A and B are shown apart, each in its own frame.
Chain A
Amino acid sequence: DTGVSQNPRHKITKRGQNVTFRCDPISEHNRLYWYRQTLGQGPEFLTYFQNEAQLEKSRLLSDRFSAERPKGSFSTLEIQRTEQGDSAMYLCASSSGLAGGISYEQYFGPGTRLTVT
């Protein structure tokens, strides 16, 4: 399967714990996005990478959140000191967009559903 993959698919954690999610984009896609989706809402942009560089972060991304894409391939999203309000579906998407170029199609992974108890 050559689509976007995410792991784990589900994560249940206690408030205050740290969690890390992984995203593997479509091979050779140089753009990678993280979105968050709460129940009954559309996905909301969190951050994106052009290759290994994190170029933009949303105001939704508090300082408890950090994302990396160390070699320009897979990415990780870490949430420290989780809060109940962090419960959501975390979606990763990738595209072949070039820097400064037109918008390209974004393909989403299946998401990681986080539940903070």
Chain B
Amino acid sequence: GENVEQHPSTLSVQEGDSAVIKCTYSDSASNYFPWYKQELGKGPQLIIDIRSNVGEKKDQRIAVTLNKTAKHFSLHITETQPEDSAVYFCAASKSTGANNLFFGTGTRLTVIP
């Protein structure tokens, strides 16, 4: 099955700086890569996603890049704000079967005011 690895496990940045979280996946058949933000006591919230026919996608302060050859994808958050503090999860899935998501182990991002 798919194996998704995520780094770093914790990340602290000063407000206004950028944050980068990286993930790798093992199954070359995976073709959909969402990122979720999870705040304490809440379910994961979809913040951005990318499909394998695209190399980069941007939505305001967040962007995701995908390198299919190397099987890795990254989340970039610019101009970080204290409300960006949360746990971020990357995930991967493929078009066949359940399309279920395989998640990384999460990155706890702390934005220091």
Question: B4 — which chain A residues lie within 8 A by C-beta?
Answer: 42
A94 to chain B, nearest CB (A): 11
Q: A33-B100, A48-B98, A97-B99 are in contact. Are A42 and B91 (CB under 8 A)?
A: yes
B76 to chain A, nearest CB (A): 20
Check A102 against B32 for contact (C-beta < 8 Å).
Answer: yes
Question: A6 — which chain B residues lie within 8 A by C-beta?
Answer: 43
Question: B94 — which chain A residues lie within 8 A by C-beta?
Answer: 103
Question: Of the candidates A42, A45, A91, A102, which one forms a contact with B43 in the assembled complex, judged by CB atoms under 8 Å apart?
Answer: A91
Binds A, one of B63-71, B77-85, B101-109: B101-109
A99 to B93, CA, bound (A): 15
A64 to chain B, nearest CB (A): 21
Question: A58 — which chain B residues lie within 8 A by C-beta?
Answer: 100
B22 to chain A, nearest CB (A): 15
**Interface flag for B55 (CB, 8 Å):** no
**Interface flag for B28 (CB, 8 Å):** no
Q: A41-B106, A43-B101, A56-B100 are in contact. Are A103 and B32 (CB under 8 A)?
A: yes
A106 to B23, CA, bound (A): 19
Q: A55-B98, A103-B32 are in contact. Are A41 and B105 (CB under 8 A)?
A: yes
B94 to chain A, nearest CB (A): 7
A103 to B6, CA, bound (A): 21
**Interface flag for A28 (CB, 8 Å):** no
Q: Pick the most buried of A33, A42, A101, A109: most chain B CB atoms within 10 A of its CB.
A: A42
A108 to B35, CA, bound (A): 12
Q: A103-B94, A105-B49 are in contact. Are A91 and B103 (CB under 8 A)?
A: no
Instruction: Tell me the residues in window 56-91 of chain A with beta carbons closer than 8 Å to chain B beta carbons.
Output: 56, 58, 91
Question: Of the candidates B41, B44, B99, B105, which one forms a contact with A104 in the assembled complex, judged by CB atoms under 8 Å apart?
Answer: B99
The 5 closest A-B pairs by CB, nearest first: A42-B103, A103-B32, A108-B43, A45-B100, A103-B99
Q: Which residues of A contact B (CB under 8 A)?
A: 4, 6, 31, 33, 35, 40-45, 48, 55-56, 58, 91, 95, 97, 101-111
